[in-house]
């Protein structure tokens, strides 16, 4: 049928809309929070819908005009702002951050601005540190920088690894303010949003602020109710502060992949160049943007998460397909939905077959096995996920492994760190799991030792660990006590308290079960010894490595 047939075009459009409606059927409700979604193809809007409630409290529905937080999808706007200043000769993206912020401590080495933008700088993150110290307590203005300044150790040397770092983007935002002489929010409005007619887009520092037409954020409670989502900071900037609408974000995506109004050709070349680690490995992360392939086509995207909301922004440049999904508490995986929209709109004829994931049956002896790496503090575990071999890192939920033939891989696009790569020859297909494994993170292999199948009881290890501890880098105290049944850890931060139960994985390695079920972070803890005495411990998370607590003498 000819494309010039208007009746045929209308029927095809109606069929496509109906198929997309099926993807969002589960959130098409009037009693729960939901999401807004926009899809443009070849420059034309083909789908704009709101689902669920913008406010459960008020019973107000989401619409295509509802403003929502986009979280970390904000990051590439921050990168563009930095590049605009570089165009004017006001900064050098390959200069050390300490050239512009000399109050920062000289650690293993000094990351460049480019390394902060690619998450390869090695600094610890103020946000992650704040979660460890004070849980979900709201931190006031100024805390983020003070937390970064007090660090005496780094996660890794610049360029060695890629670990997602909100703190680096906070530093970039402060730098933009210092060099431009105006607030970060004003710079984005004047230099990016206004030239692109993004009238409903703004950078908003705090969830306590009220802005016209913005959806409330919702966190699901175990009893089926809802709690208002509040980000635990009053100073969110380029790491995740933007609110926007479907139309503004589709306008932005068309600009991102098309003719540029804001930013030079050179700046956009920098924006879209993935980072290269010192190991020689090229990551799929550029300046605030992921670039990799999905079913044979290149996609450029970035997701975002806040407390009570998520976002996925995605474009397929070769097909001029732009997608934005913003949720305010809907119980959906917006990353997966974004990929499904690509599959639905482009269809199997335009896409390669779906990627193969590792089958768990092939590596059956590995299921349930866990391994510990002393050098990084990481614990990995293998499990079955609907017939696929899943890998958990740093105590997080397992993710199916990509099967590249000779290796199995958990990508940067999967966990915003790594990639984590295992040679299949290392894994048992028959018999028992090996005593040790070599697992590469960011192209650098490290040894992992298998943890015992039966861990010691809290009664066996508790008495030796009980005592008071202190972390200078965190600015927090901690107390471990054994009550005869459980081993309990309490961290006393400046703005709040974290309570957790220590669960032994071995005599020296523990997972932390936090008492706050809504808390988003996972912890691991490793013990330090001097002769037969526990002298301290280190906390490790996916984004914080070797945070030390030293034992106090009393």
Task: Give me the pLDDT at residue 16, please.
Answer: 65
Q: What pLDDT, on a 0 to 100 scale, did the predictor assign at position 81? A: 98
Query: Which CATH class name applies to 458-551?
Result: mainly beta
H helices present in 24-165, as ranges: 75-87, 113-117, 126-134, 143-149
Residues 184-217: pLDDT tens digits? Answer: 999 999 999 999 999 999 999 999 999 999 999 9
Across the range 367-388, mean pLDDT stands at: 95
| DSSP, res 62 | P
pLDDT above 70: residue 9: no
Examine residue 371 and say whether the peptide bond preceding it is cis (omega within 30 degrees of 0). no
Over residues 391-412, mean pLDDT: 93
Categorise residue 546: left if φ over 0, alpha if ψ from -120 to 50, beta otherwise: left
pLDDT digits (tens, 9 = 90+) for 152-161: 999 999 999 9
Tell me the whole-structure pTM to 2 decimals: 0.94
* pLDDT score of 544: 92
What's the mean per-residue pLDDT of the chain?
93
More confident residue, 532 or 504: 504
Task: Answer yes or no: are the C-beta atoms of 173 and 238 closer than 8 Å.
Answer: yes
- Please return the burial class of 271, using the count of CB atoms within 10 Å of its CB with bins 0-12, 13-18 and 19+: buried
pLDDT at 3 over 60: no
Task: Please check whether the two domains, 364-450 and 458-551, share a CATH topology.
Answer: yes
Q: Tell me the percentage of the chain whose pLDDT exceeds 90.
A: 86
445 neighbors 438 (Cβ within 8 angstroms): yes
Per residue in 89-141, pLDDT tens?
A: 999 999 999 999 999 999 877 999 999 999 999 999 999 999 999 888 899 99
pLDDT tens readout for residues 273-285: 999 999 999 999 9
Residue closest to 192 by CA, chosen among 202, 182, 183 = 202
> Among 147, 148, 153, which Cα is nearest to 109's?
153
Q: Are 399 and 389 in contact (CB under 8 A)?
A: no
pLDDT at 383 over 80: yes
pLDDT in tens, 15-56: 567 789 999 999 999 999 999 999 999 999 999 999 999 999
The string of DSSP letters for 259-328 reads --SSS-HHHHHHHTPPPB-TTSPBPSB-SS-EEEEETTEEEEEEEEEETTEEEEEEEEGGGTEEEEEEES
338's CB contacts (< 8 A; 6+ apart) are 301, 303, 312, 314, 323, 325
Angle 88-287-111 (CA atoms, 0-180°, nearest 5)?
Answer: 80
- Report residue 4's pLDDT band, with 50, 70 and 90 as the boundaries: very low
Round to whole Å and give the CA distance between 412 and 9: 39
Neighbours of 283 (CB within 10 A): 25
Distance CA 464, CA 545 (A): 24
pLDDT band at 517 (very low <50, low <70, confident <90, very high): low
Q: Residue 399, SS3? A: strand
Quote helix, strand, coil % in the chain, to nearest 5: 25, 30, 45
The predicted structure's pLDDT at residue 1: 32
List pLDDT tens digits, range 444-466.
999 999 999 999 999 999 888 99
Contact indicator for 488, 500 with CB cutoff of 8 Å: yes
Name residue 380's beta-bridge partners: 371, 393
Say if domain 364-450 classifies as CATH 1.10.1060.
no
Domain extent listing, the chain: 69-122+157-349, 364-450, 458-551
Q: How far is CA 406 from CA 292, 333, 415, in A?
A: 20, 30, 21
Q: What is the pLDDT of residue 10?
A: 40
pLDDT tens by residue, 168-186: 999 999 999 999 999 999 9
Per DSSP, the three-state class of 239 is coil
pLDDT value at residue 545: 92
Q: To 10 degrees, what angle do helices 166-180 and 126-134 make?
A: 120
pLDDT per residue over 215-236, tens digit each?
A: 999 999 988 999 999 999 999 9
The answer to whether the beta carbons of residues 412 and 419 sit under 8 Å apart is: yes
Please state the CATH superfamily assignment of the domain spanning residues 69-122+157-349 in this structure: DD-peptidase/beta-lactamase superfamily (3.40.710.10)
Beta-ladder partners of 372: 379, 449
pLDDT over 60 (residue 434): yes
């Amino acid at each position: 049928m000819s494309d010039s047939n208007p009746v045929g075009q209308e029927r095809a459009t109606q069929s496509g809309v109906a198929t997309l409606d099926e993807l969002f059927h589960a959130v098409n409700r009037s009693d729960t929070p939901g999401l807004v979604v926009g899809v443009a193809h070849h420059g034309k809007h083909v789908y704009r819908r709101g689902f669920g409630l913008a406010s459960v409290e008020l019973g107000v529905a989401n619409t295509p005009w509802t403003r929502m937080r986009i979280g970390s999808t904000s990051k590439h706007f921050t990168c563009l702002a930095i590049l605009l200043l570089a165009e004017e000769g006001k900064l050098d993206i390959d200069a050390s951050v300490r050239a512009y912020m000399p109050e920062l401590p000289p650690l293993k080495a000094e990351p460049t601005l480019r390394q902060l933008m690619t998450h390869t700088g090695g600094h610890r993150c103020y946000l992650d540190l704040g979660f460890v110290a004070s849980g979900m307590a709201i931190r006031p203005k100024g805390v983020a920088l003070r937390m970064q300044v007090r660090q005496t150790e780094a996660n890794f040397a610049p360029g060695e690894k890629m670990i997602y770092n909100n703190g680096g983007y906070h530093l970039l935002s402060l730098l933009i303010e210092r060099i431009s002489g105006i607030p970060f929010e004003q710079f984005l409005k004047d230099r990016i949003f206004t030239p692109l007619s993004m009238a409903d887009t703004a950078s908003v520092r705090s969830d306590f602020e009220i802005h016209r037409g913005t959806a409330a954020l919702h966190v699901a409670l175990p009893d089926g109710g809802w709690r208002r989502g509040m980000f635990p900071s009053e100073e969110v900037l380029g790491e995740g502060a933007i609110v926007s609408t479907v139309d503004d974000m589709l306008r932005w995506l068309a600009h991102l992949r098309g003719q540029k109004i804001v930013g030079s050709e050179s700046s956009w070349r920098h924006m879209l160049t993935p980072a290269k680690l010192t190991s020689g490995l090229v990551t799929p992360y550029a300046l605030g943007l992921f670039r990799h392939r999905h079913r044979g086509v290149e996609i450029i995207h970035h997701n975002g998460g806040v407390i009570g909301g998520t976002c996925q922004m995605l474009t397929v440049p070769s097909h001029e397909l732009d997608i934005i999904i913003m949720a305010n508490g809907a119980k959906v995986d917006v990353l997966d939905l974004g990929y499904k929209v690509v599959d639905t709109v482009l269809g199997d004829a335009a896409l390669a077959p779906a990627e193969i994931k590792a089958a768990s049956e092939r590596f059956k002896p590995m299921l349930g096995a866990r391994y510990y790496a002393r050098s990084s503090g990481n614990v990995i575990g293998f499990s079955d996920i609907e017939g696929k071999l899943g890998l958990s890192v740093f105590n997080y939920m397992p993710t199916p492994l990509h099967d590249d033939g000779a290796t199995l891989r958990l990508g940067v696009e999967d966990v915003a760190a790594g990639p984590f790569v295992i040679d299949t020859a290392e894994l048992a297909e028959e018999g028992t799991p090996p005593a040790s494994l070599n697992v590469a993170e960011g192209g650098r292999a490290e040894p992992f030792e298998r943890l015992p199948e039966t861990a010691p009881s809290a009664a066996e290890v508790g008495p030796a660990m009980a005592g008071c501890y202190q972390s200078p880098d965190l600015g927090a105290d901690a107390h471990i006590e054994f009550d005869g049944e459980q081993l309990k850890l309490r961290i006393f931060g400046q703005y709040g308290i974290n309570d957790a139960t220590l669960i032994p994985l071995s005599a020296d390695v523990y997972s932390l079960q936090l008492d706050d079920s809504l808390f988003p972070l996972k912890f691991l803890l490793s013990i330090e010894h001097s002769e037969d005495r526990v002298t301290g411990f280190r906390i490790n998370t996916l984004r914080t490595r070797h945070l030390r607590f030293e034992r106090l003498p009393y």
